[in-house]
């Protein structure tokens, strides 16, 4: 069975939805940030701080390539994977790519209590979120399917994704 790949901005609900989806469908849950952290033996904040974003993106690209070789997974992809067209090509080869969306206020609310995202550890996270979203919008738009998570409950989002995948015939 093909992979289901969730992309989308930070705080759009990828991790929550991917875990429920994987459990419900009996697929393996894979998180690209976890793969990067275990490979580098340090957390994302420290990788950004010590090695820089360019290095992080290089490792991210490698783990995406490897994860794309396996099947029957729900891949919870880091918010920036869409920026590299090769990542999208690799993910698409073995998976259906679904982008989760949320409005900037919702993203701000959902992310403000966490400190593990270096790009949002800034004085004015709302401004940063708006700028990054504006820049990345065309990249996220390249996904095969789109689901807005701003105002909906987890159950209905998961059901919608299952319907998308069923319609597409995910084998």
Q: Residues interacting with ligand S3P, by CB under 6 A?
A: 10, 14, 33, 44, 78-80, 117-119
Shortest distance in whole angstroms from residue 45 CB to ligand S3P: 8
Q: CA–CA separation, 76 vs 28, rounded Å?
A: 11
C-beta of 1 vs 134, nearer to ligand S3P: 134
C-beta of 133 vs 158, nearer to ligand S3P: 133
Alpha helices in 4-153 (DSSP H): 14-25, 32-40, 44-51, 53-67, 85-94, 104-111, 125-140
Shortest distance in whole angstroms from residue 89 CB to ligand S3P: 19
The set of residues, in sequence order, having a beta carbon less than 8 Å from that of 111 and lying 6+ positions away, is 10, 11, 117, 120, 125, 129
C-beta of 32 vs 94, nearer to ligand S3P: 32
C-beta of 52 vs 163, nearer to ligand S3P: 52
The set of residues, in sequence order, having a beta carbon less than 8 Å from that of 50 and lying 6+ positions away, is 42
**Listing from the earlier edge strand, what are the strands of the sheet with 95-101?**
28-31, 73-76, 3-8, 95-101, 145-148
C-beta of 75 vs 158, nearer to ligand S3P: 75
Tokens representing 62? Answer: 């490698």
Instruction: Transcribe 78-93 into DSSP letters.
Output: -TTGGGSHHHHHHHHH
Shortest distance in whole angstroms from residue 165 CB to ligand S3P: 21
Shortest distance in whole angstroms from residue 33 CB to ligand S3P: 5
Shortest distance in whole angstroms from residue 76 CB to ligand S3P: 7
């Amino acid at each position: 069975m093909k992979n289901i790949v969730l992309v989308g901005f930070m705080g759009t609900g990828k991790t929550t939805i991917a875990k429920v989806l994987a459990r419900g469908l009996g697929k393996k849950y894979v998180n690209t940030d976890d793969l990067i952290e275990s490979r580098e033996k340090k957390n994302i904040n420290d990788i950004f701080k010590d090695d820089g974003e360019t290095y992080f993106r290089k490792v991210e690209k490698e783990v995406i390539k490897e994860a794309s070789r396996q099947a029957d997974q729900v891949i919870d992809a880091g918010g920036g994977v869409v920026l590299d067209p090769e990542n999208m090509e690799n993910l698409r080869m073995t998976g259906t790519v679904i982008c989760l969306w949320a409005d900037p206020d919702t993203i701000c609310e959902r992310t403000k209590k966490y400190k593990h995202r270096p790009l949002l550890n800034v004085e004015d996270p709302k401004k940063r979120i708006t700028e990054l979203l504006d820049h990345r919008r065309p990249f996220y738009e390249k996904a095969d399917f789109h689901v807005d998570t701003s105002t909906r409950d987890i159950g209905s989002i998961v059901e919608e994704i299952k319907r998308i995948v069923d319609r597409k015939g995910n084998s």
